[in-house]
Homo-oligomer: A and B are copies of this chain.
Amino acid sequence: MNGIRIREVKEGIISQNDITAAGIRSHLAEKHIFFVNVMGSPGCGKTTFLKRTVEALAGKAGIGVMEADVDSDTDAVLMEKTGADVIQLHTGGACHMDAHMTKEGLNELGDEFDIIFLENVGNLVCPAEFDVGAHLSVMILGIPEGDDKPLKYPLMFKTSDVLIINKTDAGEAFDFNEELFRERVLSLNPDIRIFSLSAKTGAGFDGWMSFIKEKYEDYRA
């Protein structure tokens, strides 16, 4: 390719949280609760996406939401307007949720729900490394972030079940090659389901809503 020098400066990352995550998953399965982990960069539109999703599910399912942030309750305040039961989790500096933190959050939230959503910390790296016991992992990428992100943050694309390409309403302002982007994503993860939509305007949202309802019904069946 070229003359770029590459130096590996790998830092060891040790995670002991898989057992806890498996415990969460089976506990929620016993309670027939479907648990969805939503990830993506700061500002990719996680909260707007979740708000619209929860509003569309209102009356059809009992919804609990855990909003994870380093600080503030901005997202929880917004989310509470949907009528869902919401808890704000503070990670105290940590850039991701792990299974232990998730378990604490779930204990606090309670289990009188059909579906629980976790809005993870805004970060395209570490949340992908920590299984939180979810039944479905959803990642969001906003078009302004660029079509090169699968090259630079491959693990998130590899480990997610669903990819939401968000902010299609603002797409024209950016050089985003969706065809190339989809190719890059599918070469990392051929099974990922991709939806292009605008969480802000609602355009393209139907496909995602049909999918999540179907997944939920399959899970409960």
Answer whether residue A185 sits at the interface, using C-beta atoms and an 8 A cutoff: no
Answer whether residue A190 sits at the interface, using C-beta atoms and an 8 A cutoff: no
A125 touching B129, Cβ below 8 Å:
no
Given A11-B94, A41-B42; A80-B173 close (CB under 8 Å): no
In the assembled complex, 19 residue pairs joining A and B whose CB atoms fall closer than 8 Å, in A order, are A6-B73, A7-B90, A7-B108, A8-B90, A9-B90, A11-B94, A41-B41, A41-B43, A42-B152, A43-B142, A69-B152, A72-B154, A93-B129, A95-B125, A122-B152, A142-B144, A144-B144, A169-B173, A170-B170
Shortest distance in angstroms between A93's beta carbon and chain B's nearest beta carbon?
5
> Using a CB–CB distance below 8 Å, which chain A residues touch chain B?
1-11, 13, 41-43, 68-77, 80, 86-95, 97-98, 100-101, 104-105, 108, 121-126, 129, 142, 144-146, 148-149, 151-155, 167, 169-170, 173-174
A152 touching B9, Cβ below 8 Å:
no
The chain B residue sitting closest to A176, CB to CB, is B43
Given A73-B4, A104-B7; A13-B152 close (CB under 8 Å): no
Given A7-B89, A13-B94, A173-B169; A124-B122 close (CB under 8 Å): yes
